[in-house]
Chain A
Amino acid sequence: MQSGDKNIQWYQTKFKAFEQSLNGEKAAAVHSLRRDAMRWFAELGFPTTRQEEWRFTNVLPISKLEFHPILRFESNGITRDRMRPYLIEGAIQLVFINGMYASELSDRGALQRDVIAGGLSDIMKKNPEKIKPYLANQVKGEENGFTALNTAFLRDGACILVPRDIVLERPIQMLFVASDSSFPYLSQPRNLIIAGVHSQFKIAETFVGVAQNTYLTNSVTEIVLEDQAIVEHDKVQRESLNAYHIGTTHLRMNAGSSYTSNVFSLGGSIVRNNNSVELAAEGIECTLNGLSLGAGTQVIDNHTAIDHAMPHCNSHELYKAILDGASKGVFNGKIFVRKDAQKTDAKQTNKTLLLSDDTTINTKPQLEIFADDVKCTHGATIGQLDAEQVFYLRSRGIDLASARDILTFAFAADIVNRVTIEPLRAQLEEAIQRGLKQSHRV
């Protein structure tokens, strides 16, 4: 534990410097959250493979390094031109550099009445009363070392507040750009998304590394869907292949609301997505989809947890992975069905396509059911490309390599086609086609 202790000290020192820089802001309520979280971090440290939740994903490469927390905005030479391939045309674009809101690079256009969308730090100052009931309500920082670290250095991130009855015509994009750097740094966006009663909108969360440097993105996103709200949330992660990405999303859903999440993991060296959903009332529809593309020595871990607390809720889950090279995939899908959650309909599917002999997948459905009138199913498949399908394509004149590409892309397209933000889907298709071609060459 020597190196672990040393590591905790590194962040404690950084925290002290951060506190000193805050001056008067230290009195703000948010700072007591930070202090608590720092204490938790000192107790928890980074997770190890001895913990069940982290058994298959070793974050030692992360805990060994000394990352510099980014607490101040700097553009680091990032221009809109540079971001062009990742921006979603027609969307409300919120841009962040290393986790800090870049208002100059953002394009909010004319926001619809009463809609708030921008940097959390600004909005916390301007509308503290709107933030207070929600911030760190679902993720306090005591969950694990990563959420503790995020909360301890809570500074900025995306904040989207859509009041009741508002239907957003344009999707909202949160583009998190990681700049190049000569030292390893820590980007920790803290995002808050509140969908008011009867509101409806789509959000795209894009993470992009513009260089091949080493950094850690450790993001935490808290989302609340009030009654009858409808939200599509697409997350596309294209970090540098030398970067680490830990993404935690906690979602609370209220009566009759509907949420669809599509999580695409393309980049990153070690990637962990924690996606937790609380179905807190009746009549909820929750859909969680994911697609991971692993190559080289990438480790891509998706942990999902759906808590059916109330009756008459449906959850559907489809996570897919395409693994090549010596990459590793992890899927852990928890579904809790509590005593009162009668008439629950929960379906979980995990499918993995292995393109090489050196890949590993650990898949674990974890269903805990305490109600007696429910429908819960789960299934996992792991396999290679279907030889019959490959032959069918070849028998029509398509060469072996193209047949494999077509079938592999079709496996991915199943998830890509669920994204309804058209320009994002086009970006994804291109990135995935390119990613698959590259991985074949390795």
Chain B
Amino acid sequence: MLLRRKYLLTHVLGGIICIIGISFSTMSDIKDYDIEDMESTSDIDSVQHIKGDILAISGAILLGLDDVLSEELVKENGGVHELLFMKWWFGVGIAVTQLVIFERESFISLFNNQEGDTCSVSTQFVYLGLYVLFQVMDLASEVKFLSISEACLLNLSVLSSNLWASIFTAITDGILPAASYYVSLILIVSGIVIYEGGPSPIGHDKPTNIKIRKDNFDKTEHVANYLTSKVEEKDIELT
């Protein structure tokens, strides 16, 4: 089921440098806000803490597997639209089941505006609508990305989302990024460049021949077949 990719030392090195970059960015943020976070979670016993760690690690591994399986299905089977439909057909079913079990009360509170609430119902819906819009664009773009590239490069590219968040903070709150931001940016970009330094794991033999697939058909092949058939048709007709 899974792909058979060949990763070289350059790919691994690029990945490690990217991870160091994001670690650097995260660690430098501890000074600003995470001490409060740690204090607030200090009352949680160690068993719960371990449970949280295991959940976070499992989630990250599952999301990596999700990207790989999506890549396999989008490239070898149904294509972008089929994947989106089928994945979220079942996904909605699973999510609704969990919603009914774990999140029923919170869901009802979405429609009730109680006294002391900082947001009105309309504001909540505006935020929710924007969230859905951006998330839909994100997930649809990710599937499209997987159809033309590969899961590992997607995960490397996605690492820079924290840096985008820093830019948002700079614009909205007027807080300029610290020096660690630039170090992190340089490390992530260097990691991607080094990753790209190795031969492509999906086997591009030259930089210009990235095959763009559309609905399980190779566009280049399709155009070539079309042209060939057109020439043959004309020859048959006219000679």
Q: Do A and B bind each other?
A: no
Q: Which residues of B contact A (CB under 8 A)?
A: none
